[in-house]
A and B are shown apart, each in its own frame.
Chain A
């Protein structure tokens, strides 16, 4: 494989895989917690889900800022136009969802009137107070946006595999750190 792959910057790579891990954790915890009977454990799961949700919001801001400071490497040649467009659209919507999904969760939590703490360190105020009428609306929004992320992440991962396994180009390498042991000499 050629050595002159234009990679994303180290920080961009770290933030990308960091968000990937957080998003997977958020999904798994979210999936489980709603099925648990009420218990301190369930509350703990919710607390963790909410803290991680805020973390992804912070990471999303960092990613957008960093992306402006250090734009991604140039796109690979030879990808059909519709695929490039689909990829860009997926990335844009994934970014939007990294904001919209935690925000909808924050709004849902505000409408329920539950407290919100960022890992027990910071009390996060509600977005608004006394909105039990909007509870179902925000719950539905959070659910739909959540499955939207699942759909788009599947598309994103599927496309990465397609490039890696079928097209056999270096798209995935752009987002992987340079690991000396894996380097071909």
Chain B
């Protein structure tokens, strides 16, 4: 009796799950080799370019069904690379990203709006121990089974405590970090 009761619940649960999955926006599988999170910041008056080499994205997006679209991007902060060993050795330390305590940065958005040029994702970015609302304007190009998303975003690194103590000052390492995001994904 009890077992059959559970069985009913399980079946109903599955059906409900399937139903909500059916309503959800199209799922997309990112193509890591063709996707990139790059950034640019100034150091001692000159531009430094870098990137986060590893990140995972869960993308459910349908331009015609923005209300059920959602995105979650998880960045492996330790994969940061700026083309200079000496600098890359410093960035994981507690003054900067403190990857021992905060190995991941997460961007989550479930609110999307259409704009003149594309879309804007309103969500949150968790970096170190700071979670802040972030609006990410992006353009999207869907060609057949492939979607290409491009975004550019200026962040103030000090908002997230990237650069503690003496590094919070912006005269040697600029506060403004310009992210350039390119994600390619295949329709599931």
| Residues of A bordering B, CB below 8 Å | 38-40, 43-44, 46-47, 112-117, 119-121, 123-124, 130, 132
Does B8 touch A at the CB level, under 8 Å? no
**B85 pairs with A44, CB closer than 8 A:** no
**A112 pairs with B86, CB closer than 8 A:** yes
| Residues of B bordering A, CB below 8 Å | 42-48, 82-87, 90, 166-167, 169, 171-173
**A113 pairs with B46, CB closer than 8 A:** no
Interface of A (DSSP majority class): loop
Q: Determine which of B46, B171, B173 lies in contact with A124 in the assembled complex, contact meaning CB atoms within 8 Å.
A: B46
Q: Can you report 26 residue pairs joining A to B where beta carbons are below 8 Å apart? A: A39-B166, A40-B171, A40-B173, A43-B43, A43-B172, A44-B44, A44-B171, A46-B44, A47-B172, A112-B85, A113-B84, A113-B87, A114-B43, A114-B84, A114-B86, A115-B45, A115-B46, A115-B48, A116-B46, A117-B44, A117-B46, A120-B44, A120-B45, A121-B45, A123-B47, A130-B83
Given contacts A40-B166, A115-B46, A130-B83, 18 further A-B contacts (CB under 8 A): A38-B90, A40-B169, A40-B171, A43-B43, A43-B172, A43-B173, A44-B44, A112-B84, A112-B85, A113-B83, A113-B85, A113-B87, A114-B84, A117-B44, A120-B45, A121-B45, A123-B47, A132-B85
Known contacts A40-B167, A40-B172; A114 and B87 CB within 8 A of each other: yes
Q: Tell me, rounded to whole Å, the shortest Cβ–Cβ distance linking B63 to chain A.
A: 39
A114 nearest in chain B by CB position: B84
Most chain-B Cβ atoms within 10 A of its Cβ — which of A38, A119, A124, A132?
A: A38
**B44 pairs with A115, CB closer than 8 A:** yes
Q: Tell me, rounded to whole Å, the shortest Cβ–Cβ distance linking B32 to chain A.
A: 22
Q: Tell me, rounded to whole Å, the shortest Cβ–Cβ distance linking A102 to chain B.
A: 17
A50 nearest in chain B by CB position: B44
Instruction: Please give, as numbers and ranges, the residues of chain A lying within 8 Å of B47 by CB-CB distance.
Output: 115, 123
Q: Tell me, rounded to whole Å, the shortest Cβ–Cβ distance linking B145 to chain A.
A: 35
Instruction: Please give, as numbers and ranges, the residues of chain A lying within 8 Å of B87 by CB-CB distance.
Output: 113-114
Q: Tell me, rounded to whole Å, the shortest Cβ–Cβ distance linking A119 to chain B.
A: 8
Q: Determine which of A39, A43, A130 lies in contact with B44 in the assembled complex, contact meaning CB atoms within 8 Å.
A: A43
Instruction: Please give, as numbers and ranges, the residues of chain B lying within 8 Å of A124 by CB-CB distance.
Output: 46
* Complex: A102 Cα to B95 Cα, angstroms: 32
A129 nearest in chain B by CB position: B83
Most chain-A Cβ atoms within 10 A of its Cβ — which of B47, B82, B84?
A: B84
* Complex: A116 Cα to B86 Cα, angstroms: 15
Q: Which 9 A-B pairs have the closest CB atoms?
A: A115-B46, A113-B84, A120-B45, A117-B45, A117-B46, A47-B44, A40-B172, A43-B172, A113-B83
Instruction: Please give, as numbers and ranges, the residues of chain B lying within 8 Å of A44 by CB-CB distance.
Output: 44, 171-172
Q: Tell me, rounded to whole Å, the shortest Cβ–Cβ distance linking B172 to chain A.
A: 4
Q: Tell me, rounded to whole Å, the shortest Cβ–Cβ distance linking A109 to chain B.
A: 10
Instruction: Please give, as numbers and ranges, the residues of chain B lying within 8 Å of A116 by CB-CB distance.
Output: 46
Instruction: Please give, as numbers and ranges, the residues of chain A lying within 8 Å of B48 by CB-CB distance.
Output: 115
* Complex: A46 Cα to B84 Cα, angstroms: 15
Q: Tell me, rounded to whole Å, the shortest Cβ–Cβ distance linking A139 to chain B.
A: 11
Most chain-A Cβ atoms within 10 A of its Cβ — which of B42, B43, B45, B48?
A: B45
Instruction: Please give, as numbers and ranges, the residues of chain A lying within 8 Å of B86 by CB-CB distance.
Output: 112, 114
**B43 pairs with A115, CB closer than 8 A:** yes
Most chain-B Cβ atoms within 10 A of its Cβ — which of A44, A114, A130?
A: A114
